[in-house]
Structure 1
Amino acid sequence: MSAADTAPVDDQTRESARLLKRVPGRARPQKEALREFEEGVAQLRQHYDPVFWPLFVPEAKNMFRWRVELECGCKHEVYTHGEDKYPDDRRFPDLISQCRLPSGEFWCTTDHGPAQKPYRDIVEWVDRKVTEFPADPVEPEYDWMDAEDWAKIRKPKPHSSAFWRVKLSCGHYEQVCTDVDWKPEDGPKLVSEERIVEIRRDFEESWAAADNPGWPEKGFERDHIRKMIDLRWPRPEPERDCFTCTQVRRITGYQRIGWLVTRTRPAPRPSTNLDREKIEARLAAAEAEVQRLRKQLDNPGNA
């Protein structure tokens, strides 16, 4: 954490201070908030060697409590490192990828019902992990797939795949599976012009069939498939559907609660002999000045 993150800032001069408001509702009892925080810290410590705790494990005494309101209307309690760091300055965790959300976003745990995942462009291939798999079973793994289609894609021998963590244009992170030997600089593999004609025909016929509920309905998914057909079915695809976009909400306001651990004012410092000597010296100087002024009043001609 840099000095800029912790330096006190006047609310009136901060751009993000425009979100300071009274958030409806009441804060939880301090003891309850502190107990929950300490439970989370105990779990976090299990993931790090003690030597790294000062870097990755927060201390309750440094945390400031806020109530935040999201664009969906939900209210949540959050913490920041100090009272001068606003909630929309902090990058909160993505509860699925464990990466950080863009500033000003928060994962809303309220169930708002099903939402269709939007597709976002992949802007960065961050890193990858190779996973080994056994041979695929003889029978189809999916109920909706027939034996003929399964035979075309089935891998009869043990195989490996690379799972990439990718950053999307929305700032969120998702996972993409590729062949082990593929690299981002290779670019996507495309099918032939003849094959793309077949793929387009197969999809259009399936969508037109009234008795085929297994294919995607109109919307993001079908638009995405048509886009990939126009690009000649690139693999890996240049975009990915983002689940995080359906769960996060923008912070629209926040209100201070107070320190997670109550801070007491330091007791006044007891006076020392040195303090007394300074006071006596100032008093003597003041008395001497009074005597000088009295002499001037008694002898105005000498003033």
Structure 2
Amino acid sequence: MKKTAYAALMCLCALLWSAGESLAEFDAQRAGFSILSQGEILPYKVMGAFAMPGQNLEIRETKAKTINCKSLSGEGCFERKSDDHWTFKCPSAPGLYPLLITRKDAGAEMTLNLFVMTPFSSLKEGRLNGYRIGQYPAVDKRKLPIYKLPQGFVEVTEENRGALVSPHFRLQQFLCKQQGSYPKYLVLRPLLLLKLEALLEEVNKQGIAANSFHIMSGYRTPYYNEAIGNVKYSRHVWGGAADIFIDENPVDNMMDDLNGDGKINYRDSRVLYDIVDKLYGKKWYERFVGGLGNYKKTSQHGPFVHVDVRGFRARWGD
């Protein structure tokens, strides 16, 4: 009798443990369908998009299935080109304009947080509405196209700073660290957001529970980038790079002890570095190929890893 009761108890414990594990599983927040917009395939329930005033934003369902679109703000104008193809005429005023995209046959929906940007031409003497941007460095025409001047800047306000730009990242995480009041401005590439989401999912697959990455440095204005003595062609200046670490246990603005040796040092950032580096060569990862650097702890910051989407492989650090 005792053995039967014990076995039943163990079975119950196993079920409860299994349920707990399921609840703790990382949710990538995939929408159940994907769209193609601005050259990127977007598979998530929420994504940021960045366009210019008056631009026609193309939206296509990747498997030629019927989708419906509407503007949640009531601003802008959608036009149906076909069942799987829509265009959205962006409003003329910079700001955040959420778009809802649904695929009824899949019972799924996606929110596209569309940021209409402030044109680069609005930059006067290195400033936008008083916010200091600085001067983008001149680039030889023979240089890679990744160094083209940004078309515009995302205006970040106290009201929109918390907006999701992907399932696990918010706009404010990518703000430049320089001082200044709102509105602030940044450049952010959707491909970087897609890469960060892919890396976050991989980190969780490797047994490291993380709900997001701490973005130690996202966008940097040319002014700030020069002030901290960084190289003038840093990918941060073009919104295509992030310095990241995992800060979950405890949340203390410092890399977690990922290797479990009781110390916080470059060996922990190396764990994250290695997870990212091992993805190189995988077919699905080709569009995310870029720079990867490992940085040691200093008196100013803890250890971290640099990732970017420059389009070719580069490695540095210990």
TM-score (norm 2): 0.23
Which has the higher Rg, Structure 1 or Structure 2? 1
Question: Which structure is richer in relative contact order (CA contacts within 8 A, separation 6 or more)?
Answer: 1
Which protein has the bigger strand share? 2
